[in-house]
Structure 1
């Protein structure tokens, strides 16, 4: 019976969703220079500061989701992050061809992640 595995399924979901953001945050540290330039070019005020706030949010909130501590609050932080970052970095409507296809894939992936975090929030509340 599936309900016998509820805790294991939730742990797997938390590991996958939270782990993706810990990984992304660490990867963004490696690409901080490029990302700061991109954000500056797109008119983000205080781009370097905003990038580092986003990186900290990704890593800390991802780790909280994995650990199951403050899951709903951490998931909400990541939903808000996705709502802000997705149109900034996956603006497929401004691109055509392979670049547009790549950006729409990222956009749709982030929409799916948002749904996953909303489901975790609903379970945690």
Structure 2
């Protein structure tokens, strides 16, 4: 495939994607912009999809906290030892607080109950945990890479929580 074909294919793909993302949904079907009825219908249908994706996002985001809390409970002694090894006092008590926050916050996200409170608590908790346990700049080699990934993962989760706080407050959560 020559350069011209690659550029044409790339241009065609960009046009196709832009057509799906473009504000005027009628354009995707080759209709004129004057067809406002179709545009209204498409926007109305997208509203339903937004609700589905909002619910799906909450369910998926809740899983990391719920599963983490369950794992902490099932491996209590090992996890207490790991927390203590990071130089934190009262490791057992701190672990208990972590489990309560993760369970409450995770259930809040899952059920949509007290959503803003749950997501806010998880966000505050996540900031602390990220800097205490995933400070990648203090590690070397493969461990540094792993902690970098964990740090970035937590940043992404924090971004999702920020969106939920923002959207949840608009929806009375």
> Could you say which TM-score interval applies, normalised by the shorter chain?
over 0.9
Q: Does residue 113 of structure 1 match 2:157?
A: yes
Structure with the higher fraction of residues in helix conformation:
1
Report which of the two structures shows the higher radius of gyration computed on alpha carbons.
2
* 1:17–1:113 contact (8 Å) kept in structure 2: yes
**Alignment partners' CA distance in 2, 1:97 and 1:31:** 27
Q: Which 5+ residue runs of structure 1 have no aligned equivalent?
A: none
Query: Segments of 4+ in structure 1 off by > 3 A?
Result: none
With structure 2 as the length reference, what TM-score do the two structures score? 0.69
1:1-125 paired onto structure 2 within 5 Å? 1=42, 2-125=46-169
1:14 Cα deviation (Å)?
Answer: 0.6
Q: Which has the higher contact order (CA 8 A, sep 6+)?
A: 1
Deviations 1:10-62 (A, max 9, x none): 11011011121101111122232222122222222211101111011101210
**Alignment partners' CA distance in 2, 1:48 and 1:32:** 8
* 1:14–1:66 contact (8 Å) kept in structure 2: yes
* 1:15–1:65 contact (8 Å) kept in structure 2: yes
How many residue pairs align between the two structures? 125
